[in-house]
Amino acid sequence: MPKIQLLTESESEILLKYKDSDIYDADLELKSIPAKRRLIISNQIQGRQVLRKKVKSWAAIADDPANFTRLMLPAKLPFEQCSSEQTARYKAKLVSGELLVDLTGGLGVDFAFMSAKFQKAVYVEQNKDLVACAEINLPIFGVNNATYVCDDAINYLKNMTEHASVIYIDPARRTTEGEKAVQLADCQPNLEELEPLLLEHADMVVAKLSPMLDISKALRALKSVCEIHIVSVDNECKELLLVMKKDHQQPEIKTYNIHHDREEHFDFTPSDELMAVCKYAYAPRMYLYEPNSSILKSGGFKIVADRFRLVKLHVNSHLYTSDDEVENFPGRSFEVLAWSGFARNDLASVLKGIKQANIAVRNFPMSPEKLRSKLKLKEGGKDYFFASTLADGKKVLLRCRKI
């Protein structure tokens, strides 16, 4: 294990001075410091700035000057790749038991929040520098039940002697050429190959995968998936989690969207979507609804209409309408103020008095930028325009106000 290089008192004074600054602002002062020490200080400055955005509870501890000479923050890349606090807390809700084994420990954010639900936890990571950092940092961040192991995930798994309640794995999603990998078989380690071995050593496996992954392909490739969790933060799809167990029925798809003031949930099974009855609209009604990004990723297009008694604009238009307002819809809700086709006279009536608006297109043969130029509207304001297609193929423009 490499020797931990903590900050000296004089270096911690530089950190205090520049902890809120762009790293380039510290260049002049850092130039007089040896290169190896300069990199350590730079990592400490940049790491804390990323923590303030992604893991605020850790940032509060890291920003305490008493901890400047106690913590060892790694290079910037692990911070960019780590989970946010919101998604880590979500994972912690899914798990509990006697033993957690995290086969791809990384910065340790997921491991730290999940480990609190277990009597014992093992952090496994092949990067020796990350292991060294985790071993000194995680106890300061509140992890007191962990063992730290520097090993390859597959090698550790093959040699496990203790059965785990949960194994957590976050396969690397970059190819050898450095490109992002979204196919299951392109991730390392390969879950398709490891699935039997993982379930031999654990009651449950939780795998974090790219939100770009094709869910139907994943279900065909992996035979033991019992739950699929699609997690968004502020309507941006962040994570796809597969929960695997040996004995399971039909997998359940669980969508989750985290806002600062609320959380949106919508769960269904593939058979629910298959059996759902969905009607289609030949004209928009009083209200318009756009499902959140987790639902759109899930493919639950008919079931969301069925559950909330909505009418879908078109089979490919993933917008919904109703005569009566639906409360607590998992997504955005709008009042339809006016709508028209794209004939010049029709557009003139809908656009009358409007100088700026937010523009979105759904199943429409024009980009938002080109449509904005055509409509001669500035960006922003309280009005929203949706360009889309109705059940009969007619192209329409809907002027809406967000509820």
Residues 228 and 313 in one domain: no
pLDDT at 1 over 50: no
In a domain, 4, yes or no: no
Residues 103 and 212 in one domain: yes
In a domain, 391, yes or no: yes
Residues 185 and 237 in one domain: yes
Residues 226 and 114 in one domain: yes
DSSP string across 306-335: HHHT-EES-TT---EEESSPPTT-SEEEEE
Residues 58 and 26 in one domain: yes
Please write the tens of the pLDDT for every residue from 14-46. 999 998 888 888 877 888 888 889 889 999 999
Q: How many CB atoms lie within 10 A of CB 163?
A: 12
Residues 315 and 397 in one domain: yes
In a domain, 265, yes or no: no
Residues 73 and 89 in one domain: no
Please name the amino acid found at residue 173.
Answer: R
Instruction: State the pLDDT at residue 394.
Output: 97
Residues 284 and 322 in one domain: yes
- What's 215's domain CATH number? 3.40.50.150
Q: State the first-to-last Cα distance of the chain, in angstroms, to the nearest integer.
A: 56
For 17, the domain range is 9-80
pLDDT at 2 over 60: no
Q: Supply the Cα-derived Rg of the chain in whole angstroms.
A: 25
Residues 75 and 91 in one domain: no
Residues 397 and 346 in one domain: yes
In a domain, 239, yes or no: yes
In a domain, 297, yes or no: yes
Domain boundary among 80, 103, 119: 80
User: Distance between CA 101 and CA 165 in Å, rounded?
Assistant: 8
What are the structure tokens assigned to 289, written together?
């609804």
Please write the tens of the pLDDT for every residue from 327-365. 999 999 999 999 999 998 899 999 999 999 999 999 999
**Measured CA distances, 76 to 173, 216, 221, 231 (Å):** 17, 34, 34, 24
pLDDT at 3 over 80: no
Total domains in the fold of the chain:
3
pLDDT at 223 over 60: yes
Residues 76 and 89 in one domain: no
Domain boundary among 80, 104, 133: 80
Mean pLDDT of 123-150: 96
Instruction: State the pLDDT at residue 29.
Output: 82
Mean pLDDT of 282-308: 97
DSSP structural state of residue 31 = T
* Contact in structure between 276 and 249 (CB atoms under 8 Å): no
Is the previous residue joined to 196 through a cis bond, with omega within 30 degrees of 0? no
pLDDT at 267 over 60: yes
Which residue from 142, 11, 26, 108 is spatially nearest to 68, judged by alpha carbons?
11
- Render the burial of 299-324: b for 16+ CB within 10 Å, e for the rest: bbbbbbbbebebbbbbeebbbbbbee
In a domain, 266, yes or no: no
**Measured CA distances, 150 to 74, 94, 118, 162 (Å):** 16, 26, 21, 17
In a domain, 258, yes or no: no
Residues 238 and 283 in one domain: no
Domain boundary among 249, 282, 316: 249
In a domain, 259, yes or no: no
In this structure, of 15-24, 62-71, 145-154, 201-210, the range with the lowest mean pLDDT score is 15-24
Mean pLDDT of 128-136: 95
Whole-number percent of the chain with pLDDT over 90? 81
pLDDT at 265 over 70: yes
